[in-house]
Amino acid sequence: MDLSFTPDEIAFQNEVRAWMADNFPADLRTKVEAGEKLYKPDLLRWQKILAAKGWIAPAWPVEYGGPGWTPTQRYIYANEMALAGAPDLPAFGLKMVGPVIYTYGNEAQKAHFLPRILSGEDWWCQGYSEPGSGSDLASLKTKAVSDGDDYIVNGSKIWTTGAHDADWIFCLVRTDDTGKKQEGISFLLIDMKTPGIEVSPLIIINGDHTVNQVFFTDVRAPKKNLIGKENEGWTYAKFLLVNERNGIAQVGHKKHTLRRIRKLADKTDMNGGKLADEAGYQRRLAETEVALMALEYSELRFLSGQKTEHAPGTEANMMKVAATQLQQSMSELFIEIAGYYSFPYDGFRDTKGSNEPPVGPTEAGGAMFDFLYGRAATIYGGSNEIQRDVIAKVLLSI
Ligand SMILES: Cc1cc2nc3c(=O)[nH]c(=O)nc-3n(C[C@H](O)[C@H](O)[C@H](O)COP(=O)(O)OP(=O)(O)OC[C@H]3O[C@@H](n4cnc5c(N)ncnc54)[C@H](O)[C@@H]3O)c2cc1C
């Protein structure tokens, strides 16, 4: 196992770093450093810059618009992006449905959808979960009934992140309910402008609108937008879930957050000195740094295995658990340090027309917002209880 980067990889790292310094817009950087919310126009602007450079879909095959990087280059790229404060773009098109389309879609679907995903022309959302079908996803009930060249879709999806911004939704729908529950599911792409779709916002604990419930009432969806074969959608759905869990460690973003925490502690007065010099803080910081280092080395080992014959297995499940737990403990440390400055949140100032400056040190911005949203990290992408079940079954045979 060799965990060090080659000279070529270090040159690539320098190239990404230099390009980011010149091309990541300063106003977006300022917003990220202050913990302000980025909206679709912000993200779309960044997407277009990356797309023009050809760096928008690191994992895609070259023939569909990927840059042809190795897994290690992709890791370096993701890290450098995060360390520079670049936001993640929504994964639904680029990391989820895009790979499903180029792997299982027909030529017409590839030609139509893939370029529009890369350019940001189409934004996607994920219609998997339903009221009553989350962890037990295959129990889903949203029904698609054949009617000539179309399906007629009825049912409801829930926790649909970004449905209010999306142009398309990829849905798991039930096309047969006679056999095993996994056998009658199909993977259908539906235009969000189709009559009969209603998007209802769900405001989560941090006061933000990110998730929704989506209702389908007699929605007519053309069969030409079915991926692969009818009733075989479960195969494509599982393929997508593996992609969803890949890259969940987000080591670069965690390093970036840690940098903000350190800056804040350096500034904060405490008992005539600075919080950064306080023994309790130093212990917590050291524990966090060790946990982050362990996560980083686990990911590098995982990558090192991908370069050899070792096939990725339960590592993705293990990293999902470790990474989300670390994310939550880091965000706890963050609000403890930000103290009462973590309560007022000015991250919506843009849209609320406020001209008041943020309350407290800039570095404290968004601490509580992220802490509260982060409660969901151990739930979405497959809850940690389920991940532990998989690890116990596959790795420990219990
Ligand atoms: C912020 C957020 C965004 C989301 N975005 C999307 C999205 O864009 N699209 C989408 O389709 N879905 C999305 N989800 C849904 C998410 O995938 C589900 O919430 C998740 O799969 C869990 O399902 P559930 O909420 O139905 O919980 P349940 O399945 O009802 O589980 C409740 C609890 O019981 C535990 N549990 C259930 N079964 C077992 C078992 N066999 N063994 C041990 N423990 C078990 C679970 O771990 C959990 O703690 C999102 C969720 C959140 C919170």
pLDDT at 222 over 60: yes
* Percent of all residues in the chain with a pLDDT value above 90, rounded to a whole number: 78
Per the model's pLDDT, the better-predicted residue between 180 and 249 turns out to be 180
The pLDDT, as a whole number, for residue 245 is: 67
The pLDDT, as a whole number, for residue 358 is: 73
Per the model's pLDDT, the better-predicted residue between 4 and 160 turns out to be 160
The pLDDT, as a whole number, for residue 313 is: 67
Tokens 């779709």: give the residue.
197
**Is 63 tagged catalytic?**
no
The pLDDT, as a whole number, for residue 242 is: 75
pLDDT, one tens digit per residue, over 332-371 is: 999 999 999 988 877 776 666 677 777 888 888 899 999 9
| 383 within ligand 1 shell (Cβ under 6 A) | yes
The pLDDT, as a whole number, for residue 17 is: 97
Residue 64 DSSP code: G
**What is the rounded CA–CA span in Å between residue 395 and residue 398?**
8
The pLDDT, as a whole number, for residue 343 is: 85
pLDDT, one tens digit per residue, over 290-313 is: 999 999 998 888 777 665 544 456
The pLDDT, as a whole number, for residue 397 is: 83
**What is the rounded CA–CA span in Å between residue 201 and residue 59?**
32
- For residue 170, which phi and psi values (nearest 5 degrees)? -95, 130
The pLDDT, as a whole number, for residue 347 is: 73
Question: Tokens at residue 370, please?
Answer: 């992220």
Per the model's pLDDT, the better-predicted residue between 352 and 267 turns out to be 267
Q: Which of 55, 384, 376, 83 is nearest to 256 (CA)?
A: 83
**20 Cα–ligand 1 center, Å:** 36
pLDDT band at 247 (very low <50, low <70, confident <90, very high): low
pLDDT at 46 over 70: yes
Q: Which residues have a Cβ under 8 Å from the Cβ of 82 and sit 6 or more positions away? A: 88, 250, 251, 252, 253, 255, 256
The pLDDT, as a whole number, for residue 302 is: 77
Set 130, 230, 232, 244: catalytic member: 244
Return mean pLDDT, the chain.
92
Hey, is 69 helix, strand or coil? coil
The pLDDT, as a whole number, for residue 305 is: 67
* Percent of all residues in the chain with a pLDDT value above 70, rounded to a whole number: 94
CB burial readout 14-43, b (16+ within 10 A) else e: eebeeebeeebeeebeebbbbbbbbeeebb
> pTM score, two decimals?
0.94
Q: Which of 159, 389, 398 to mutate to test the pocket of ligand 1 (most atoms within 8 A of CB)?
A: 159
Q: What is the mean pLDDT of residues 165-170?
A: 98
Atom of ligand 1 nearest to the CA of 133: 26
Helix axis angle for 279-307 and 315-338, nearest 10°, is 160
pLDDT at 144 over 80: yes
Q: What is the mean pLDDT of residues 209-220?
A: 98
The pLDDT, as a whole number, for residue 312 is: 54
Nearest CA to ligand 1 atom 26: 134
Position 257, amino acid: T
Q: Which of 135, 188, 214, 241 to mutate to test the pocket of ligand 1 (most atoms within 8 A of CB)?
A: 135
pLDDT, one tens digit per residue, over 71-127 is: 889 999 999 999 999 999 999 999 999 999 999 999 999 999 999 999 999 999 999
CA distances for 71 relative to 4, 108, 222, 332, angstroms = 14, 29, 37, 32
Helix axis angle for 279-307 and 71-83, nearest 10°, is 150
Q: What is the mean pLDDT of residues 184-207?
A: 97
The pLDDT, as a whole number, for residue 316 is: 81
Residue 86 DSSP code: P
